[in-house]
Structure 1
């Protein structure tokens, strides 16, 4: 068998043939310019013919060098592909969620996902607008609504929209729980863009008599205002289950109002061929199912 050329010489020749300077090849390979030049000379000596013309401002491949470089480059590409095929394929997935879902549920749960799937890069697009699977390049979305959502989409229900009233303990000093209807009527209300208070008060047969309240553009802001003791917020139970368990918020009345639109995970069917996408789907659905069945977080 004909002896193979020195591998270091081939690496130096392949890089120098692409860059056409020994300096640029040396920077790419992390060695000195002299080392690249010497390795190429050894290769030329082994082959018995020059591969480069040394010019004042760089290099030019000889006809033999040009032909040889094309074949060596293909061989290195084959070796890179063969090596890559042995490595675990890193995955990435982009999910579109509302800022409230991101801040109050997804991000607090992400450490568990990262521990289970350190090789998956989960990108989060938090926006109030409805993202496009095509123009925004998303793979998954969490949306409130009712199926069907689209012929090319799979829809998996994650959470019911069980709306409860919550407040910080500091707001409820000297008020026993559950709050009396008169107390609820007088305490400040925190309103968001969903405007749920009129329907909730009607269910309790309460006329609002609070002197003031805040109007906020997002539910996450209403929850933050509730945490700081500024009023009572209406929010889906699963979004505040952690704060209730930690004692940061309390449910002020056992009344639960079922919202019209539940929370669904949407995914393009063609994206489900990706192991990374399937792993994200499995984690989201299993985590949602676990929290929904956990007595510590179940809706009263």
Structure 2
């Protein structure tokens, strides 16, 4: 191949040649590059003139690489791959940060807010570990956990309150319009009580209707039980009954009128929600996510 000046060929010509060699068609190469078919053909002709040889045989409906073209395209593709890899290596790599939560916290609090977090911190590669099992920071590779409990959470762990657990009764507005909000224990018994694994109903009824209002085994009440609070909330949104849920988990449902709070009844949970992390683990990414979560929780109150 002749290149008397020793200079690099036109980059646009090389791009046109590489695309045309893959498609063996100037029109398809032009569509990929976002230019006209004539522009691709002209760039390839210019490259051929610069090199002093023919890279393609122009056939009636397609192109065919010449022997020189086949030899040249192999090296050009390797060169483009090297440029692509070198450029990618210059860009900052995402910082991975793993957050351990319960499935309900993930689906009802964290995931709806994730677009805001990722928009604010595009440099972070967020990994959500949603499980009822308490994750181990070392073994499971977790950086930050949301734990429902009472501190301290273990040796070497730091914690900060995220939000208090306030449990409220809520129901679909459609159901309440049809039946009215229950104000007595008899009226409450006409609704299905949606129950999760925590089963706060006996305590809730005792606090708001009196100790003798309902037996601890809840006989006489129609109940639907779920092992995940998120499923009980979804059932309430679907009009299946009344749910007892942490207020912060249903804020969006209340705001968007998918659920309505029944009365002003509030039950304080036995424990609250905390951010927990290894005390000696320091990173800008960890601080950014902690600060964002605390800010998001405060805005929701």
TM-score, normalization by structure 1: 0.67
- Structure 2 residue matching 1:95: 3-state secondary structure: strand
Which residue number in structure 1 is paired with residue 259 of structure 2?
Answer: 249
- Structure 2 residue matching 1:32: 3-state secondary structure: helix
Q: How many residues are aligned here?
A: 221
Inter-partner Cα distance in structure 2 for 1:112 and 1:35: 39
1:179 aligns with 2:183: yes
Quickly say closer, same or farther: Cα 1:89–1:279, change in 2 above 3 A. farther
Inter-partner Cα distance in structure 2 for 1:183 and 1:34: 78
1:32 aligns with 2:74: yes
Contact preservation (8 Å) 2:189, 2:221: no
Q: How far does residue 181 in structure 1 lie from its aligned partner after superposition? A: 3.6
Query: Any unmatched runs of 5+ in structure 1?
Result: 1-5, 9-29, 37-79, 293-300
1:291 aligns with 2:300: yes
Inter-partner Cα distance in structure 2 for 1:97 and 1:191: 21
Correspondences of 1:28-67 after superposition (within 5 Å): 32=74
Quickly say closer, same or farther: Cα 1:198–1:211, change in 2 above 3 A. closer
* Alignment counterpart, residue 282 of structure 1, candidates 272, 282, 291: 291
Which residue number in structure 1 is paired with residue 139 of structure 2?
Answer: 135
Inter-partner Cα distance in structure 2 for 1:223 and 1:189: 11
Deviations 1:121-166 (A, max 9, x none): 1100101111111111100100100111123111010110101111
Inter-partner Cα distance in structure 1 for 2:300 and 2:291: 14
Inter-partner Cα distance in structure 1 for 2:177 and 2:192: 14
TM-score, normalization by structure 2: 0.67
Inter-partner Cα distance in structure 2 for 1:122 and 1:195: 32
- Structure 2 residue matching 1:270: 3-state secondary structure: coil
Contact preservation (8 Å) 1:133, 1:139: yes
Q: How far does residue 274 in structure 1 lie from its aligned partner after superposition? A: 1.9
Query: Any unmatched runs of 5+ in structure 2?
Result: 1-5, 9-71, 79-85
Inter-partner Cα distance in structure 2 for 1:33 and 1:219: 59
Correspondences of 1:115-126 after superposition (within 5 Å): 115-126=119-130
Which residue number in structure 2 is paired with residue 24 of structure 1?
Answer: none
Which residue number in structure 1 is paired with residue 174 of structure 2?
Answer: 170
Inter-partner Cα distance in structure 2 for 1:107 and 1:179: 34
Q: How far does residue 89 in structure 1 lie from its aligned partner after superposition? A: 5.0
1:259 aligns with 2:282: no
Q: How far does residue 176 in structure 1 lie from its aligned partner after superposition? A: 3.7
Please, what is the CA RMSD of the aligned residues? 2.8
Quickly say closer, same or farther: Cα 1:274–1:199, change in 2 above 3 A. same
Quickly say closer, same or farther: Cα 1:212–1:170, change in 2 above 3 A. same
Correspondences of 1:189-208 after superposition (within 5 Å): 189-204=193-208, 205=210, 206-207=213-214
Q: How far does residue 231 in structure 1 lie from its aligned partner after superposition? A: 1.0
Contact preservation (8 Å) 1:163, 1:234: yes
Which residue number in structure 1 is paired with residue 111 of structure 2?
Answer: 107
Which residue number in structure 1 is paired with residue 47 of structure 2?
Answer: none
Contact preservation (8 Å) 1:186, 1:209: no
- Structure 1 residue matching 2:189: 3-state secondary structure: helix
Quickly say closer, same or farther: Cα 1:153–1:31, change in 2 above 3 A. farther
Inter-partner Cα distance in structure 2 for 1:168 and 1:210: 22
